[in-house]
Structure 1
């Protein structure tokens, strides 16, 4: 069976759903093909919460996160679903980096301020701070599961089609404005295909377009239980301080947030073992988990390091940590979100739709300079 549609999106996670919504808003027909069932936990978009963190130094990211904030609010108003909990976010650790971040935020019109470690511990008694804390009040967490539902609902209201359990078997570029996308039951003929396949990106299109190196890792944060119900919990990022020997056991910066009903999510960032997304064991690597438990014992007096539930997810990362948002002929690619992309989701959807229309992404996200 042959089906014609203006745009095919491959991958119905956060980025694919946002791209579908942006395409549908422009009046084009769009079909979203997803190999797994709706709500699966095999990729990078599942889970209840993500950080909405505006602590960036690059102007491109600050512009993108400001746009995303407006688009999240618009989507919440349209769907009647709360998507952001602006409980604030604390950044601590590497003070020179925090000074640069605050200056960049001020230039971008994003409010933030420094607190002494003593003042921060008085306010957030469940956490320990050794140096000044950069507090961003208009930040917090995204209700990630709700966001996926809202993106899909808004796209479907504009006649986007979502097809789950629909694996792409072949993708053939037949011309500048023609791509054939084959599944087990149909062949889709389209002028543009947007690939948001996460950990499966290289497997799907590695032989069609030349992508920068993408590394897929299995990450293993965990939800920890609190020792008291009366504590206030902001979202948080903690960067190691150079030259502090007692921090030598760290694997990477730490991130986390309260996930209501599940605990406080705490995790290393982007240092899990390299995996094939089709051959994961979902088992936490022992040494990294032991180090995470040590970190929680040392830095979170409000958490019980012995009561936790491990989480397994994938990161698909570039060497720089910057995203790939680019077009190769009729194939548009959104990939390499490197564990920090979710907050930008609706803005990334807009960029992917623009790319399909021939509008270039910001240079930082274009692929050639990474090849």
Structure 2
């Protein structure tokens, strides 16, 4: 059995960011990862996640501005390029480009509101039926590269990463906690940070949080998202990231990254994958009906792509009903999950928020549903 000040459960983006932020503050940190950091069974693998500022909710746009400063610091300290510039287009009857433009303007994010004709002239590989909002500061996050960079910085500052260490339960132990693995190993810690992503539904009842706190936890939905890579016609590659929302379908698309040979656009229906009980049920299987639905979308709305996928992948989205994050602390347990499919861009800020909670500080009340039920305890 080993002893540490803070045990971090999970080495995806949220867990790695937390380890980085805590270790650089001088905390003794042990990361407990059930397999490998950024593994393909979770939510943080691969090299292509969207970094964007456009949200209908001004809070999230403001937080992206804060998160960007953290990404800049991570790239500088880690000596790595983790966000590739691409810009972003938002359009569709249900996306409200005009409203998004107002939010971007209020946050000081440079943008353009374009008519359908203007957008078509600029991006002839995308079909536009109405206005679109463009902001150049968006890009593509190398998720796996970010995890590895944050963990490298964390270990350089003294953190320990334990692989193949699936957590089974957490219980009170004297003034702290005892974390037990599925194989019977144990780690004792003064505090625990849970960043388990899609495994949280299985783990939540074993954290010893108490019935009142558990009643306050929002219902969780885990989806096995289905993403497909489509080749660019004529070798074109200067595509933006895209969010297109209509009454019948919401799609996101982005340049595919190194894991798809940089030769196509990654396209997926948002929350279009099957619902599963937890990450333990993730089989990485592609559903043929859902694939055909995305292919049909590409054929109609993205004429600049060949509507024949050359690669495919699955990824987990763990959602709350309102898609808000849970970043909260009850006694000595801090929970950073779920991120509802849009948390990658906030990773450095989520790590910062976790460090604040561990040290007894504050984060936005909106992300703290457990404190209302469980009672906030300051360090």
Q: Same fold (TM over 0.5)?
A: yes
Kindly state the Cα deviation for residue 369 of structure 1 after the two structures are TM-superposed: 9.0
- Aligned with residue 232 of structure 1, among 222, 234, 238: 238
The farther-off stretch of 16-25 and 58-67 is 58-67
- Aligned with residue 257 of structure 1, among 254, 257, 262: 254
Deviations 1:182-208 (A, max 9, x none): 234642221110000011112112243
SS of 1:194 mapped into structure 2? strand
Runs of 4 or more above 6 Å deviation: none
- Aligned with residue 294 of structure 1, among 271, 293, 296: 296
Partner residue, 1:196: 195
Q: Distance in 2 between matches of 1:213 and 1:122?
A: 44
- Aligned with residue 215 of structure 1, among 214, 221, 230: 221
Residue 228 of structure 2 contacts residue 309 of structure 2 at CA under 8 Å; is this kept in 1?
Answer: no
- Rate the CA distance shift 1:369–1:290 in 2: closer, same or farther, 3 A: farther
Q: Distance in 1 between matches of 2:200 and 2:38?
A: 19
Kindly state the Cα deviation for residue 162 of structure 1 after the two structures are TM-superposed: 0.8
Residue 13 of structure 2 contacts residue 38 of structure 2 at CA under 8 Å; is this kept in 1?
Answer: no
Partner residue, 2:151: 152
SS of 1:166 mapped into structure 2? coil
SS of 1:169 mapped into structure 2? strand
Q: Distance in 2 between matches of 1:216 and 1:115?
A: 36
SS of 2:309 mapped into structure 1? strand
Kindly state the Cα deviation for residue 221 of structure 1 after the two structures are TM-superposed: 1.2
Residue 22 of structure 1 contacts residue 349 of structure 1 at CA under 8 Å; is this kept in 2?
Answer: yes
Tell me the matched-pair count.
360
Q: Distance in 1 between matches of 2:237 and 2:38?
A: 31
- Rate the CA distance shift 1:51–1:316 in 2: closer, same or farther, 3 A: same
The farther-off stretch of 333-342 and 278-287 is 278-287
Deviations 1:61-116 (A, max 9, x none): 12221111111111111111101112210111137732222212211111111112
Kindly state the Cα deviation for residue 231 of structure 1 after the two structures are TM-superposed: 4.7
Residue 220 of structure 1 contacts residue 312 of structure 1 at CA under 8 Å; is this kept in 2?
Answer: yes
Matches within 5 A, 1:252-291: 252-260=249-257, 261-262=261-262, 263-276=264-277, 277-291=279-293
Q: Distance in 2 between matches of 1:125 and 1:271?
A: 26
Gaps of 5+ in 2: 374-379
- Rate the CA distance shift 1:104–1:192 in 2: closer, same or farther, 3 A: same
SS of 2:96 mapped into structure 1? helix
Kindly state the Cα deviation for residue 325 of structure 1 after the two structures are TM-superposed: 0.5
- Rate the CA distance shift 1:152–1:171 in 2: closer, same or farther, 3 A: same
The farther-off stretch of 11-20 and 112-121 is 112-121
Q: Distance in 1 between matches of 2:48 and 2:141?
A: 6
SS of 1:120 mapped into structure 2? helix
- The Cα RMSD (Å) is 1.9
TM-score normalised by structure 1 residue count: 0.92
- Aligned with residue 327 of structure 1, among 323, 326, 329: 329
SS of 1:159 mapped into structure 2? coil
Kindly state the Cα deviation for residue 285 of structure 1 after the two structures are TM-superposed: 2.2
The farther-off stretch of 11-20 and 141-150 is 141-150
